[in-house]
Chains A and B, each alone.
Chain A
Amino acid sequence: MSGWGRQSTTLTPPPRLSIHAEDDGDLGQRPQPQIDRGPLNRYPQRTLATSVEGLGSLVDLGFGPPIGDPNPSTDVVSTHRGHWQPRWKGRGPRSIRGMMNNRKSDDGFEMASMSNRVLELTVISGEDLRIKGKPIRNNAYAIIKTNNVPNATTKVDQEGGSYPYWDEKLLVDLPLRTFFITVEVRRRTSSGVGQLIGAASIPVSDFIGGYTPENYLHFLSYRLRDAVGERNGIVNVSVRVKSPAPYGCSTASATQPEMGIQSVDPGDGRAGGTVVTGMPWQMKIDIDQLKPGSKSMSGA
Chain B
Amino acid sequence: MGACFSDVKGGMQAVGGTRYPPYGGGGSSSIIGGPNDAVDMFYRARCQQALCTPLELSMSASKLRDRDILSKSDPMAVVYLKKRDGRLEELGRTEVVLNSLDPAWIQKVSVSYQFEMVQNLVIHVYDVDTKYHNLPVKALNLKDQEFLGEATCVLSEIVTQRNCSLTINLQNKHGQVGPRNLGTLTVHAEEPVASKTVVNITFRCTNLDNKDLFSKSDPFLRISRIVETGNLVPICKTEVVNNNLNPIWRPISLSMRQFGSKENPLEIECFDFDSDGSHQFMGTLKKSIADLEKLHRDRTGANFVLPASLNRGREKVLKGQLFVEQFSEKPQFSFLDYISSGFELNFMVAVDFTASNGNPRSPDSLHYIDPSRRLNSYQQAIMDVGEVLQFYDSDRRFPAWGFGGRTYDGSVSHCFNLSPSGHEVEGVEGIMAAYSGAIHNVSLAGPTLFGQVINKAAEIAGQSLLDNNNKYYVLLIITDGVLTDLQETKDALVRASDLPLSVLIVGVGGADFKQMEILDADNGNRLESSTGRMATRDIVQFVPMREVYGGQISVVQALLEELPGQFLSYMRARDIKPLPHASGTTV
Closest to B576 in A: A217
- How far, in whole Å, are A167 and B415 apart by their CA atoms in the complex? 40
The size of the chain B interface, using a CB distance under 8 A, is 54
B59 to chain A, nearest CB (A): 42
Write out the residue numbers on chain B whose beta carbons fall within 8 Å of the beta carbon of A6: 530-532
B537 to chain A, nearest CB (A): 8
Q: Is B139 an interface residue (CB 8 A)?
A: no
Known: A7-B531, A37-B528, A135-B9. A219 touches B498 (CB 8 A): yes
Q: Is B24 an interface residue (CB 8 A)?
A: yes
Q: Is the CB of A248 within 8 A of B466?
A: yes
Q: Which of B229-279 contact A (CB under 8 A)?
A: 239-242, 244, 250
Write out the residue numbers on chain A whose beta carbons fall within 8 Å of the beta carbon of B528: 37, 40, 223
Q: Is A141 an interface residue (CB 8 A)?
A: no
Q: Is A165 an interface residue (CB 8 A)?
A: yes
Stretch at the interface among B147-155, B452-460, B505-513: B452-460
Residue-wise interface mask of B (479-509) relative to A, using a CB-CB cutoff of 8 A (1 in contact, 0 not)? 0000001111000000100110000000000
- How far, in whole Å, are A274 and B239 apart by their CA atoms in the complex? 48
Q: Is A234 an interface residue (CB 8 A)?
A: yes
Most chain B CB inside 10 Å of its own CB: which residue of A91, A92, A212: A212
Q: Is the CB of A165 within 8 A of B452?
A: no
Closest to B248 in A: A159
- How far, in whole Å, are A159 and B14 apart by their CA atoms in the complex? 14
Write out the residue numbers on chain A whose beta carbons fall within 8 Å of the beta carbon of B240: 161
Q: Is the CB of A211 within 8 A of B463?
A: yes
Q: Is A95 an interface residue (CB 8 A)?
A: no
Q: Which of B14-53 contact A (CB under 8 A)?
A: 22-24, 26, 32-34
B516 to chain A, nearest CB (A): 12
Residue-wise interface mask of A (160-178) relative to B, using a CB-CB cutoff of 8 A (1 in contact, 0 not)? 0111010100000000000
The size of the chain A interface, using a CB distance under 8 A, is 51
A279 to chain B, nearest CB (A): 19
Write out the residue numbers on chain B whose beta carbons fall within 8 Å of the beta carbon of A125: 22-24, 32
Known: A135-B9, A219-B23, A223-B528. A33 touches B518 (CB 8 A): yes
**Which secondary structure dominates where chain B touches chain A?**
loop
Q: Is the CB of B535 within 8 A of A221?
A: yes
Which single member of B9, B26, B32, B514 contacts A128 (CB below 8 Å)?
Answer: B9
Residue-wise interface mask of B (513-527) relative to A, using a CB-CB cutoff of 8 A (1 in contact, 0 not)? 011001000000110
Residue-wise interface mask of A (104-145) relative to B, using a CB-CB cutoff of 8 A (1 in contact, 0 not)? 000000000000000000101101100000110110000000
Residue-wise interface mask of B (447-472) relative to A, using a CB-CB cutoff of 8 A (1 in contact, 0 not)? 00001100110110111011000000
Residue-wise interface mask of A (216-239) relative to B, using a CB-CB cutoff of 8 A (1 in contact, 0 not)? 111111110100000000101010
Which single member of A32, A159, A206, A210 contacts B244 (CB below 8 Å)?
Answer: A159
B415 to chain A, nearest CB (A): 8
Most chain A CB inside 10 Å of its own CB: which residue of B487, B495, B573: B487
Q: Is the CB of A220 within 8 A of B498?
A: yes
Q: Is A93 an interface residue (CB 8 A)?
A: yes
- How far, in whole Å, are A33 and B485 apart by their CA atoms in the complex? 16
Q: Is B533 an interface residue (CB 8 A)?
A: yes
Residue-wise interface mask of A (251-284) relative to B, using a CB-CB cutoff of 8 A (1 in contact, 0 not)? 0000000000000000000000000000000000
Q: Is the CB of B526 within 8 A of A234?
A: yes
- How far, in whole Å, are A137 and B3 apart by their CA atoms in the complex? 12
Known: A33-B525, A125-B32, A159-B242. A206 touches B530 (CB 8 A): no
Q: Is A36 an interface residue (CB 8 A)?
A: yes
- How far, in whole Å, are A216 and B462 apart by their CA atoms in the complex? 10
Closest to B33 in A: A163
Q: Is the CB of B452 within 8 A of A93?
A: yes
Q: Is A3 an interface residue (CB 8 A)?
A: yes
Q: Is B534 an interface residue (CB 8 A)?
A: yes
Q: Is the CB of B23 within 8 A of A212?
A: no
Known: A125-B24, A135-B7, A161-B12. A220 touches B530 (CB 8 A): no
Q: Is A90 an interface residue (CB 8 A)?
A: yes
Which single member of A3, A161, A238 contacts B23 (CB below 8 Å)?
Answer: A238
Known: A36-B486, A90-B451, A211-B463. A220 touches B9 (CB 8 A): no
Q: Is the CB of A221 within 8 A of B34?
A: no
Write out the residue numbers on chain A whose beta carbons fall within 8 Å of the beta carbon of B533: 206, 220-223
Q: Is the CB of A32 within 8 A of B530?
A: no
Which single member of A37, A165, A220 contacts B250 (CB below 8 Å)?
Answer: A165
Q: Is the CB of A32 within 8 A of B514?
A: yes
Most chain A CB inside 10 Å of its own CB: which residue of B9, B13, B244: B9
B494 to chain A, nearest CB (A): 9
- How far, in whole Å, are A214 and B383 apart by their CA atoms in the complex? 37
Residue-wise interface mask of B (550-587) relative to A, using a CB-CB cutoff of 8 A (1 in contact, 0 not)? 00000000000000000000000110000000000000
Q: Is B5 an interface residue (CB 8 A)?
A: yes
Most chain B CB inside 10 Å of its own CB: which residue of A138, A203, A220, A225: A220
Number of A-B contacts (CB under 8 A): 125
Which single member of B459, B463, B466, B537 contacts A93 (CB below 8 Å)?
Answer: B459
Write out the residue numbers on chain B whose beta carbons fall within 8 Å of the beta carbon of A236: 22-23, 536
Known: A3-B532, A223-B532. A211 touches B462 (CB 8 A): yes
Write out the residue numbers on chain B whose beta carbons fall within 8 Å of the beta carbon of A10: 487, 530
Write out the residue numbers on chain A whose beta carbons fall within 8 Å of the beta carbon of B9: 128, 135, 162-163
- How far, in whole Å, are A122 and B533 apart by their CA atoms in the complex? 17
- How far, in whole Å, are A284 and B103 apart by their CA atoms in the complex? 75
Most chain A CB inside 10 Å of its own CB: which residue of B8, B32, B532: B532
A206 to chain B, nearest CB (A): 7
Q: Is the CB of B530 within 8 A of A39?
A: yes
Write out the residue numbers on chain A whose beta carbons fall within 8 Å of the beta carbon of B242: 137-138, 159, 161
Q: Is A200 an interface residue (CB 8 A)?
A: yes
Write out the residue numbers on chain B whose beta carbons fall within 8 Å of the beta carbon of A93: 415, 452, 455-456, 459
Write out the residue numbers on chain A whose beta carbons fall within 8 Å of the beta carbon of B415: 93
Closest to B415 in A: A93
- How far, in whole Å, are A162 and B456 apart by their CA atoms in the complex? 38
Q: Is the CB of A238 within 8 A of B26?
A: yes
Q: Is A213 an interface residue (CB 8 A)?
A: yes
- How far, in whole Å, are A91 and B242 apart by their CA atoms in the complex? 48
Write out the residue numbers on chain A whose beta carbons fall within 8 Å of the beta carbon of B13: 163
Write out the residue numbers on chain A whose beta carbons fall within 8 Å of the beta carbon of B452: 92-93
Q: Is A287 an interface residue (CB 8 A)?
A: no
Most chain A CB inside 10 Å of its own CB: which residue of B33, B461, B498, B525: B498
Q: Is A196 an interface residue (CB 8 A)?
A: no
Known: A6-B530, A212-B465, A222-B534. A217 touches B22 (CB 8 A): no
Write out the residue numbers on chain A whose beta carbons fall within 8 Å of the beta carbon of B515: 36
- How far, in whole Å, are A127 and B526 apart by their CA atoms in the complex? 12
- How far, in whole Å, are A7 and B532 apart by their CA atoms in the complex? 9
B385 to chain A, nearest CB (A): 24
A297 to chain B, nearest CB (A): 12
Q: Is the CB of A40 within 8 A of B530?
A: yes
Closest to B575 in A: A217
Write out the residue numbers on chain B whose beta carbons fall within 8 Å of the beta carbon of A220: 498, 533, 536
Q: Is A152 an interface residue (CB 8 A)?
A: no
- How far, in whole Å, are A227 and B465 apart by their CA atoms in the complex? 39
Q: Which of A180-205 contact B (CB under 8 A)?
A: 200-201, 203
Q: Is A249 an interface residue (CB 8 A)?
A: yes
B172 to chain A, nearest CB (A): 52
- How far, in whole Å, are A221 and B209 apart by their CA atoms in the complex? 39
Write out the residue numbers on chain A whose beta carbons fall within 8 Å of the beta carbon of B12: 161, 163
Q: Is the CB of A36 within 8 A of B22?
A: no
**Given A137-B242, A165-B32, 7 other A-B contacts at CB below 8 A?**
A36-B486, A92-B452, A93-B415, A125-B24, A163-B9, A219-B536, A221-B23
A contacts, CB < 8 Å to B = 3, 6-7, 10, 32-33, 36-37, 39-40, 90-93, 122, 124-125, 127-128, 134-135, 137-138, 159, 161-163, 165, 167, 200-201, 203, 206, 210-213, 216-223, 225, 234, 236, 238, 248-249
